[in-house]
Structure 1
Amino acid sequence: MTTRLTPQDTAFYRLESSSNPIHIGSLAIVRNTESGKPVLDYDRLVDVVEARLSLVPRYRHKVCEIPFALGRPVWVEDSAFDITFHVRHSALLSPGTDEQLHELVARLASRPLDPTRPLWEMYLIEGLSDERSAIFTKTHSALVDGDTALEIGHVILDSGASQRRTADDAWVAPHEPSEVELLAGALTHLATQPREAFEVVRDARAVTMMGAASKAVESVVSAVRAATTSTPDSPLNVKTSRDRCLDIVRTELDDYRKIRTKFDCSINDVILAVVTGALRNWLLSRGEALTESTTVRAVVPISVYVEGMDGDQPEPTSEVSSFLIDLPVGEPNPVMRLSHIAHAAEANCKHRRGVRARTLMHLAGFAPASLHAMSVRAASTFAGHTFNLVITNAPGPQLPMYICGARMLETYPVAPLLRNQAASIGITSYDGRVFYGLNADRDAMADIGVLAASVHESMEEMLGACV
């Protein structure tokens, strides 16, 4: 059975390049011993993932292009699907440090997924100190839409140490369509969709006409954009390399609640204010000249979930929202920074742009990875030259979750870098804490550790203003 990629899925699939892999990453740290014995091993993880693939059937599908580019690509079940190709085993030299883990995850995040196979990978990483293990998952953004397809991390987690039972998966390797069959199916589809057929012909004609002039046109467009954009200049916008670096931050949810109560704002406002203070300190550490009017423009998705960060499950909704917000990094007063952000967020919520996500009406348990994937998709609706940074913020449950009986201690999103974006900031709340995943280009932001340390400095500054 084949399913045609949606226009947005297709855009994400074709957006990827060797220096810009567009996959959503998720890093979970688990306590992997109970009564001195290991709880989670590779074979057990493979069994659980395989048993639950029926809940995310697209994870057995790969992308096939239509011959002669006659229409959008299609999802096709992989007849040679091999679970051990996708679920992999790695280890640090015990006792591995957090820094060594971050270096390994950064290298894994730097590698594009194999386009000839289903677009996801999962790694069990053993050898961490303090009897811990890690699971790093990366899934192409074209695969997770929050509507017909969720991120696999949503289905392998349980709310208790005992694994929930799922229905037996009777999957049988299907017949894969040949190129002739794909072409015939595309022609039949175009015959019933004249508008799409016109677009295929138009695009093909445009490619032919552009020819060698395409580079010149691209240069002109870039020059016009540079001359007309009002996006603040920032070291956050550079041509990216193929390599990434990663750092993480752990903070306490109660600290955000304290600040929210003091200044009568939302948890989301407080998080953005903390990030703004951290960006300010990082820019100053680089010797950047800041004035009171200096800003960093961010795309902030998931605004409709701000109350979910307060420790309860998010209220059901039918859309994921994104808006542009100018973070006042030039403002030295933390209270004024928070005030600016709260007013801007309130104004934007009245005119937000939404991306439909009907399945969110039925999400239960732990789904931040799916929400982060949707955040990136929502952010992509803005032209790349109109913002400096993407900040994704997805709430999680405030009760412990388990993977194969191993308690999850921490979870960090690893959001991709969009084109000419030197960094992305992903934030997830879980079990009384708020976790930051800072993914950055290794060449442009080798000082990502300074930004991570600045998050703590900014939080202390905000808490100091509460006294």
Structure 2
Amino acid sequence: MPDRLSALDASFLYLEESATVMHIGSVMVLEPPPEGFDVEALARSVGARTAYVPRYRQRVRTVPGHLANPVWVDDERFDLDFHVRRTALPRPGTREQLTELVARVQPRRLDRTRPLWEVYLVEGLAGGGLAVITKTHQAMVDGVAAVDLGQVLLDDAPSSGAPPGTTWRPAPEPSLVELVTGALVDAVRRPPQVLETVRAGAGDVRTAVRRASSTATGLLRAASSAAGPQGGPLDVVVGEQRRFAVVDTALEDYRAVRRAVSGAPRRRAGRGAAARDEPVPLVARTDLHDVVLAVLAGALRGWMLSRGLVLAPSAVVRTLVPLSVTAGDLDDGSAPDRGAGGRGGPPPATEVVGHLVDLPVGEPDPVVRLQRVSFGMRAPGEGRRVGARELAGLAGFAPPTLHSLGVRVAGSLSHRVFNLVVTNVPGPQHPLYVGPVRLAASYPVIPLAAGQGLAVGVTSYDGAVSYGLNADRDGLPDLDVLAECVTDALAELVDVTAGPPGGRPR
């Protein structure tokens, strides 16, 4: 019998019928390609690679009467040209034009009668570059049977040769009798699954989601002890249209902040001798992830103030931060590699869990914001996070897949207990390639939850930290202001920690 969707995967399909789209995406900006690299070459590469991930040649088929969750079946009419598409930007091909295209492409629902993914090759970028936009439904990506499409396309070295031929042949689809028989067999083997499936098929999605996610239990228990989010500029009625913005920052700035607050005290920049003589307080056990969240807290604060909002010192934005956890120690990438091929053997087992943290948008001091974020990210019982170097080297857990798994955790929870989802995944600090073309930058596109106007994806890659801001078009018409506030918040944090008085770091 074909593979059956898990309760969580099925819930993503049911949720999409009554809410926003449930697919994750990425925007990969490429350097100018060599002659001969076009949509046909990309399609050949995609076709060859998806042969190793059978899920990308399968579609969803429902079971009559919702007797069981849907199943994955081979698409006998699989059409690669339908999934790999070509488009172009008008001149001059600016970054703003690219993000507007992403905002229009990403919200379109995927065709349920075909495999649930799409790739767009975007030509016409200024300077002769290209971009690749990917869309993958959350039901597909579980880190085991399928990884995110963005991961499938990337290589550690350029590949200019013709991809190997494939010999894939679709298996015949099961008949209605076989689907019903398989559902009855599963009902005998797993009786509790029957009630859950009927409820999900009848539209009680919350019950299916709640029971599907084992990782959500502890987080919901912790959230129940505190008041849920109460309004705010991020709580909007989410429509079908989007805005998308990207922010490029330097990884060295985050490392400089981490070194400054974790080492000897430095003196605060500012006006007057009194301000310069005030020592910068140390922040114990701070890592790069905390610095990113502190920058986002400062950016949200600046954006809210630009709207004329009055922020109390206690104002926070409750944020769900999916984390990869392990029994290993924290590592920001500067320690010796303990991953595959490094000393100490393969990395320990890793899973993605959810963590609630309150971003202190009411706090005016950037260092105190970082202190509060670091403390909040180390609540008892959450375990220790996998190191960045280990994480980037985990087979099957490249950044695109980890973003997808993070969104799966967010999708398994009630969206009433948090205002914002932030996925932050460390990536490799060496060049990656799509075929023969070097990847210049990569930006995650995180789907919006019902009632939440913003989702943030962050990826570090080859010396850069890149933000993808996905927002409801009507709810956040000033998304460009928020993007500028990210850069300003990072500059402020660097200036008051790692920089000399009154200036940028030496």
TM-score, structure 2 length as denominator?
Answer: 0.81
Post-superposition shift, 1:74? 0.7
Structure 1 match to 2:378:
346
1:358-400 deviation per Cα after TM superposition (whole angstroms, max 9, x unaligned): xx89834982110000001112233210000000011110001
Looking at structure 2, the residues matched to 150 and 372 of structure 1 have their Cα atoms a distance apart, in angstroms, of 10
CA distance in 1 between partners of 2:189 and 2:69 (Å): 15
Residues 1:3 and 2:34 are matched in the alignment: no
> Is the Cα–Cα contact under 8 Å of residues 454 and 469 in structure 2 kept in the other structure?
yes
Contact 2:45–2:163 (Cα < 8 Å) also in 1: no
Pairing 1:238–2:236 present: yes
CA contact (8 A) 1:19 1:243 kept: no
Alignment counterpart, residue 270 of structure 1, candidates 291, 294, 297 = 291
Give the direction of change, closer, same or farther, for the CA distance of 1:284–1:361 in structure 2 (3 Å limit): closer
Q: Are the counterparts in 1 of residues 27 and 134 from structure 2 also a CA contact under 8 Å?
A: yes
Matching residue of 2:280:
none
Measure, in 2, the Cα distance between the counterparts of 1:201 and 1:415: 29
Q: CA deviation at 1:254?
A: 0.3
Q: How does 1:296-445 map to 2 (within 5 A)?
A: 296-304=317-325, 307=331, 316-347=348-379, 350-351=381-382, 363-364=394-395, 367-445=398-476
Question: Please, what is the CA RMSD of the aligned residues?
Answer: 2.7
Residue 115 of structure 1 deviates from its aligned partner by 1.0
Cα gap change, 1:413 to 1:456, in 2 (>3 Å): same
Alignment-derived partner of residue 27 in structure 1: 27
CA–CA distance in structure 2, aligned partners of residues 346 and 156 of structure 1? 35
Structure 1 CA distance for aligned equivalents of residues 449 and 161 of structure 2 = 37
Alignment match, 1:173: 170
Contact 2:420 2:455 in 1 (8 A): yes
Greater Cα shift, 150-159 or 442-451: 150-159
SS at match of 1:161: coil
SS in 1 for 2:356: strand
Letter matched to residue 175 of structure 2: S
Distance 2:488 2:166 in 1: 50
Q: 1:185 to 1:11 in 2, by over 3 A?
A: same
Deviations 1:241-274 (A, max 9, x none): 1000100000000000000001121000100000
Equivalent position of 1:460 in the other structure: 491
Deviations 1:176-210 (A, max 9, x none): 22333322221232233323234456778998xxx
Q: Which aligned pairs between 1:9-408 and structure 2 lie closer than 5 A?
A: 9-17=9-17, 20-34=20-34, 38=35, 40-162=37-159, 168-200=165-197, 229-264=227-262, 265-304=286-325, 307=331, 316-347=348-379, 350-351=381-382, 363-364=394-395, 367-408=398-439
Once the two structures are overlaid, the 10-residue window that deviates more, 260-269 or 361-370, is: 361-370
Task: Write the distance in 2 (CA, Å) between the matches of 1:114 and 1:247.
Answer: 26
User: Which segments of 5 or more consecutive residues in structure 1 lack a partner in the other structure?
Assistant: 208-224, 355-359
Cα displacement (A) at 1:165: 8.5
After superposition, the Cα gap between the structure-2 partners of 1:380 and 1:201, relative to the gap in structure 1 and judged at 3 Å, is closer
Cα deviation for residue 229 of structure 1 reads 4.3
| Cα gap change, 1:346 to 1:170, in 2 (>3 Å) | same
Q: Which has the higher helix share?
A: 1
Which residue identity does 1:436 align to in structure 2? Y
Change beyond 3 A, Cα 1:256–1:167: same
In 1, Cα distance between the equivalents of 2:420 and 2:201? Answer: 34
Post-superposition shift, 1:308? 5.4
Shift of 1:17: 3.7
- 2: distance between equivalents of 1:243 and 1:176? 36
Change in 2 beyond 3 A, CA 1:142/1:102: same
Per the TM alignment, residue 53 of structure 1 is displaced from its structure 2 partner at its CA by 0.9
Supply the distance in 2 between the matched residues of 1:245 and 1:299 (Cα, whole angstroms).
Answer: 21
Q: Does the CA-based 8 Å contact 1:316-1:361 persist in structure 2? A: no
Between the aligned partners of 1:364 and 1:431, the Cα distance in structure 2 is 19
Cα pair 1:12 1:142 within 8 Å, conserved: yes
Do the aligned residues in 2 keep the contact of 1:24 with 1:138 (CA within 8 Å)? yes
The residue aligned with 2:478 is: 447
Q: Which residue identity lines up with residue 56 of structure 1 in the other structure?
A: V
**TM-fit CA distance, 1:152:** 2.0
On the 8 A contact 2:7/2:197 being kept in 1, the answer is no
Structure 1 residue 18: deviation in Å? 6.8
Task: Output the CA distance in 1 between the equivalents of 2:41 and 2:155.
Answer: 14
Give the partner amino acid of 2:98. L
Q: 1:120 to 1:201 in 2, by over 3 A?
A: closer
Q: What residue number does 1:222 align with?
A: none
Query: What residue identity is the alignment partner of 2:58?
Result: H
Question: Which amino acid in the other structure matches residue 13 of structure 1?
Answer: L
> What letter corresponds to residue 71 of structure 1 in structure 2?
A
Give the AA of the match of 1:5: L
